[in-house]
A and B are shown apart, each in its own frame.
Chain A
Amino acid sequence: MIIEVKNLKKTYEGRVPTHALKDINFGIKKGEFVALMGRSGSGKSTLLHQIGLLDTPTSGEIIMKDTNLVLLSESKKAEFRLKELGYVFQSYALLPELTALESVYLPLMLLNIDKKEYIRKATEMLEKVGLGERIDHLPKEMSGGEQQRVAIARALVNNPSILFADEPTANLDTESSEVILNLFKKLNKENGQTIIMVTHEPDDKKWVDRVIWLKDGVIEK
């Protein structure tokens, strides 16, 4: 298993506490392409945020590389996200002042890699996602699909162990969505990239190896 989730709970405190995740247990194998699916409010995005270290669960364990990630300090979590995890969000959220190339090599800069090397790696990654001709373009000069592909290249450039994608095609038209999901499938098959993707589109099942269905904060099947 590349990641194991044990007894994970997330409760949002308030006058009436909301139990968003109730005792979640599952494991994901290296090289798997898994979809988290369920109706709105089922807890699929909440689960992705916990296992992607973007939020802190109320209790439970997230085991990766023999470490319970829940116990890491904020600084160590940031380091772990940088080195081991990659993210693609529904809104591409690229910095408006950075070109495609700069957006992609930003994570490599954080690892203090030599300039020539990070430019080479970022260029290669952009070519891999089909944007070799667009490396000097700013986000405002690209379509939504192209921006999402830049975000994917940024997520993958550090060779993450797991790529998390939170409804990556929600803002895209059918054609662009197809391109993105094809790209995920290609990365998964050719590079063995582990991918955990949240989606609400039932049709997306065809792209993934396994679906984890959530309902009311528990795994349904």
Chain B
Amino acid sequence: MNIKTSFFLAYTSIKRGSKGTLMMTILIMTLAYVNLVFISSIFGGIVEAINHESINNQYSNIVIEPKIDKRYIDNKEAIQLIDTITGVVGSSAHYIDKALISYDEYNDGNNIKSGKWVIKSIDVENEKKVTEIHDSIIEGSYLESTDRDQIMIGKEIAGGHGGGLEHLSLGGILVGDKIDVQFSNNIKRTYTVKGIFSVKNTQVDQMAFITKKEMESILKVHNLASEILVKIDNIGEEDIYINEIKNLGLQNEDIKRWDELMGFTSSASSSFTMISVILGVIGTIVAGVTIFIIIFVSVVNKRKQIGILKAIGMKENTIIFSFVIQALFYGIVGIILGASVILFILRPLFIANPLDFPVGWVSLKVTFNIIRISNISLLLASLVGGFFPAYRGARESILKSIWE
């Protein structure tokens, strides 16, 4: 094979061939590449939004729950030491109860709306380090540590804020309204709604929060916890911190990573990843077939010339390689232009204007891995799509190529 001649033929063919065909081919390859990266990135963005909501509003990174036969985590010394572990951003202990919440809109005993929801207590300052609910207040304000007769509820309890479970809500509670809460131990209290929050997580939007002191007075406990959420610096290092937490003396507690608790959302993430892979494979095949057709047409149009080139002594490999170089050129230019479109146009556009999905704010998550896999896919598609028609054309007998 004479590589120099292959490059020469490919270069002249690209430089002096039809500019319209060249532009169209490059446009198709660019779009094929954008399609590959965009689909993976948007699904990556959805999965990231789901994970973001789970970590920042529901589970944090690590969830500590009591031993199987116990209602509370009772190792008070160990609980206090969690925040001293290097890399732990904060921890927040919750009491959890299931309560009957009722709302009598006209205070006349008629048309009372009620439902059972999870009610949690929070240490206001600690909670701010662990979740972002304080940034998600849509009406009123966040709790303060001294609050006793105030409650903060999610939009799915309040109703009237476009939640997905409106029919189960209290029908449109406003800040300042009074609601009755009957705890599982039958203690009944009346609270004033201080704030209504909305996060992109239906489970959390179905929760109510009161202060730790208030809950302790109802449950008659002190400095215990039904669960502790622990926030760490680096997602992905949860197992290391779980070991450190266990070493504090919490060996028997049930300690889990956030992703172990995701359940439905975890399987949704896996499905999105699967769909993304399937669409990626289809996109790659389409790109390969496109290149195949382009090179095939080029080979058919140059059939006679290929015969002449063989007649003057050019080896088949040299001819095949010249077409493969052209195919790779289309692929490489498509990758460069496509990556530019993604990185300099679409990504900044999505970061500035994320899509409002039910699972969270979705942006393009363009990772090095997606770029690498898309690059390899398109190059392979170009290589295979370019090789086969060139091979067929170059293998034809000289006489057939020239005279038939």
Residues on A facing B (Cβ under 8 Å): 49, 52, 54-55, 75, 78-83, 85-87, 89, 91, 93-98, 102, 106-107, 109-110, 112, 138, 154-155
Contacts and interface: CB of A to CB of B under 8 A. Distances in A.
By Cβ-Cβ distance, the 6 closest A-B pairs, closest first, are A82-B313, A97-B16, A93-B308, A81-B313, A97-B12, A54-B398
A78 B305 contact: no
B318 interface: yes
B401 to A, nearest CB: 10
A177 B372 CA distance: 59
A109 B1 CA distance: 12
A79 B313 CA distance: 6
A25 to B, nearest CB: 23
A39 B4 CA distance: 44
Interface string B1-34: 0101100110011011100000000000000000
Contacts of A102: 8, 12
B307 interface: yes
A4 B12 CA distance: 40
Nearest to A164: B311
8 contacts: A78-B313, A81-B313, A96-B16, A106-B5, A106-B314, A110-B313, A110-B318, A138-B16
Contact of B304 (A83, A93, A107, A110): A93
B3 to A, nearest CB: 10
A11 B9 CA distance: 36
B138 interface: no
Nearest to B8: A109
Nearest to A95: B305
A139 to B, nearest CB: 10
B399 A49 contact: yes
A186 B2 CA distance: 33
Interface in B387-403: 397-399, 402
Interface string B288-310: 00000000000000101101111
Contact of B399 (A54, A86, A94, A95): A54
Contacts of B12: 95, 97-98, 102
B9 to A, nearest CB: 8
A154 B312 contact: yes
Nearest to B301: A96
A82 B13 CA distance: 22
Interface of B: 2, 4-5, 8-9, 12-13, 15-17, 302, 304-305, 307-315, 318, 397-399, 402
A106 B399 CA distance: 21
A155 B312 CA distance: 8
A162 to B, nearest CB: 13
B304 A81 contact: no
B312 A109 contact: no
Nearest to B305: A95
Contacts of B5: 106, 109-110
Contacts of A87: 308, 311-312
Given A54-B398, A54-B399, A109-B2, 17 more contacts: A55-B397, A55-B398, A78-B315, A79-B313, A80-B313, A81-B313, A83-B313, A91-B402, A93-B307, A94-B305, A95-B12, A97-B13, A106-B5, A106-B309, A109-B5, A109-B8, A138-B16
Contacts of B308: 87, 89, 93
B2 A112 contact: yes
A80 B402 CA distance: 19
B56 to A, nearest CB: 59
Contacts of A80: 313
Nearest to B16: A97
A104 B260 CA distance: 71
Contacts of B9: 95
Contacts of A95: 9, 12, 302, 305, 309
Nearest to A75: B315
A106 to B, nearest CB: 7
A102 B8 CA distance: 10
Nearest to A91: B304
A85 B313 CA distance: 9
B2 A89 contact: no
From A52, A80, A109, residue with most partner B Cβ within 10 Å: A109
B312 A106 contact: yes
B314 A110 contact: yes
A86 B311 CA distance: 9
A82 B309 CA distance: 10
A91 B310 CA distance: 15
B399 A55 contact: yes
A21 B221 CA distance: 110
Contact of B2 (A98, A110, A155): A110
A80 B311 CA distance: 10
A155 B309 CA distance: 11
A78 B402 contact: no
A80 B312 CA distance: 9
Contacts of A96: 16, 305
Contacts of B402: 89, 91, 93
